[in-house]
Each structure stands twice: as C-alpha cells, then as structure tokens.
Amino acid sequence: METLVIYDIVDDVLRNRIAEACKDYGLQRIQYSAFRGHLNHNRREELEQRLRRLLGRKEGNIQIYPICDKDLRLKREIEGKPPQRGG
Amino acid sequence: METLVIYDIVDDVLRNRIAEACKDYGLQRIQYSAFRGHLNHNRREELEQRLRRLLGRKEGNIQIYPICDKDLRLKREIEGKPPQRGG
C-alpha cells in the first residue's frame, strides 16, 4: 500500500537518519521532510519500529499514513520552482 | 473528507502565508510544515486555488492528500519530545 511518511525533526543528524531509514525501505523523497512509496503491512510495521527506535525520546514527531489508490487519485500537487537550500 | 496538506517552502514569509491559509480553512497544524482537517470537495478546491495563487512561480512544493476514514485508522504517529525551535 502506498505510504506517506512526514516528519518534523529539528536536529540535522537525526533528521538525516530518519531520511536514510525511509530510503532503505525504498521510499522516495517527495519533500524535504516527506517520503512516499509502496510498503506492505509487514514492511510498514518494520519501518515504524525502526523510526521509533531512532526517535526515542528526542525532539520530534513522525507520522505514517497509508494511502489507498482511491485517495491517491484525489491527491493534488502545486509546484513552484524546485526548493533550493544552501549547503 | 479529512485532508492533509504538506508543504516544502524555503521562504519564511511565504511559508507563514501558506500556514495562515490552511488555518483560515479550519485545518490544524500537526507538524511544522503540515496541516490536517476536514474539508468538503468544494472547500478543498478553494484552498488548492488559494495555495496555487500564493505559491505562484516561487520556490516550493505543496501537496494535498484527501485521506479516507479507513486509511486514517491505519495512521501511526511516533512522538518524541515536542519539537522546539528558536525564535
């Protein structure tokens, strides 16, 4: 099932680790702090546990949304110029 | 229908305007760059048009996901300490 992961992590190192975990599970970066891709139920649970261990009691919030095909067809995207960040 | 709005906006002023638009439509901030709340089809389209005008050709990306109740029940949240930002 298509899965959206969004996170709000202040610390750069931790945020990068969260991003790496999402990539390891085959998700694609769709925004600076959002990844999306197909995960079956087991893989989604595995990723959830991994993210839970990474975050621990540190500052942050992570949300995982499975999105069915019907909802995905209703998704809208508004694109300006691609965001550029220094560094 | 429950609606998730996620955005990736580099400019502070523009990002705040996007956030204000989401608030005007009754959405709640769930992360630094994510809002969620109930919108019917018309209100969702209105908000999309407003965000489209705000972003224009400036740097950024906004995605709007309607999420059905079934998907919402599968949502997972991982909470650490609430993110604190300076300023």
**Which positions in chain A touch B81 (Cβ < 8 Å)?**
57-60
B8 close to A31: Cβ distance less than 8 angstroms: yes
Which positions in chain A have a beta carbon within 8 angstroms of at least one beta carbon in chain B? 4, 6-10, 30-34, 48, 51-52, 55-68, 70-72, 74-85
| Element spanning B29, H or E | strand B28-31
Note whether B58 contacts A81, CB cutoff 8 Å.
yes
Tell me A83's DSSP state.
Answer: P
Domains and CATH numbers, chain A: 2-71 (3.30.70.240)
**What CA dihedral angle connects A79, B37, A22 and A11, to 10 degrees?**
90
**Distance (Å, whole) CA B59 – CA B57:** 7
Sign (positive or negative) of CA dihedral B8, B19, B64, A16: positive
pLDDT in tens, B4-49: 999 999 999 999 999 999 999 999 999 999 999 999 999 999 999 9
User: ipTM of this predicted complex?
Assistant: 0.94
